[in-house]
Amino acid sequence: MIRLFPERGGWLEVVCGPMFSGKSEELIRRLRRAEIAGQRALIVKPRIDDRYDIGHVVSHAGAKMRAVAVARPDEIRGLVDGYDVVGVDEVQFFPPEIVGVIESLVDRGMRVVVSGLDQDFRGLPFGSMPELLCRAELVDKLQAVCHRCGGPATMTQRLVDGKAAPADGATIVVGALEQYEARCRSCHELAQPAQLAG
């Protein structure tokens, strides 16, 4: 299959997949290349989690690029003047208004690269990701290595005290004592909802 980038005007690229699949790494790689080519590139991310470096996107393997953390999608409009390429990391955490903001940047002729989880820990579509995947010119779904069997992983496993989390937990839990693993579909598990468990 041959994929061609549009030659003019704006467009939208989506990089999705489970945790640890290299989404942030790929976002950084694409924006770095744009900078090397002399374009102006900016990464924004949701101001949801202050535990990590708020001024950078940092990948699990240590790749790093400066980023601006924003509280609401609307703030992005005022930040992007003069930029050719805009990256949005962890796009699934933004409220639905992110779709209109991204469309308006593309309409202004910008190349927008978004990255984020396509599925939540239950395996359900995450936030505005379905809408963005549908609107994008280019889509990449990355795979991680399944922590359990070593096969290609497309899902994110939430663990509480080392055991599979129940499906009725909150979708977004920031700063909680939880762990995540990449898993393939057959190794992915959901515990019984807490109120049904024995």
- The answer to whether the beta carbons of residues 154 and 143 sit under 8 Å apart is yes
Q: Site for Mg ion (CB under 5 A): how many residues? A: 2
How far is 179 from 162, CA to CA, in rounded Å? 8
Which tokens go with 90?
Answer: 């962890």
How far is 14 from 61, CA to CA, in rounded Å? 21
Candidates 49, 139, 151, 172: give the one binding Zn ion (CB under 5 A). Answer: 151
Candidates 24, 119, 154, 156: give the one binding Mg ion (CB under 5 A). Answer: 24
Binding site partner of 120, from Zn ion, ligand ADP, Mg ion, none, Cβ cut-off 5-8 A by kind: none
Q: Which residues contact 9 (CB under 8 A, 6 or more apart)?
A: 109
How far is 165 from 191, CA to CA, in rounded Å? 6
Give the H or E element holding residue 32. Answer: helix 23-36
Q: Does 156 bind Mg ion (CB under 5 A)?
A: no
Site residues, ligand ADP (CB under 6 A): 17, 19-25, 59-61, 144-145, 147, 182
Nearer to Zn ion, 135 or 148 (CB): 148
Candidates 48, 54, 79, 149: give the one binding Zn ion (CB under 5 A). Answer: 149
Nearer to Mg ion, 23 or 122 (CB): 23
Residues within the interface to Zn ion (CB under 5 A):
146, 148-149, 151, 184, 187
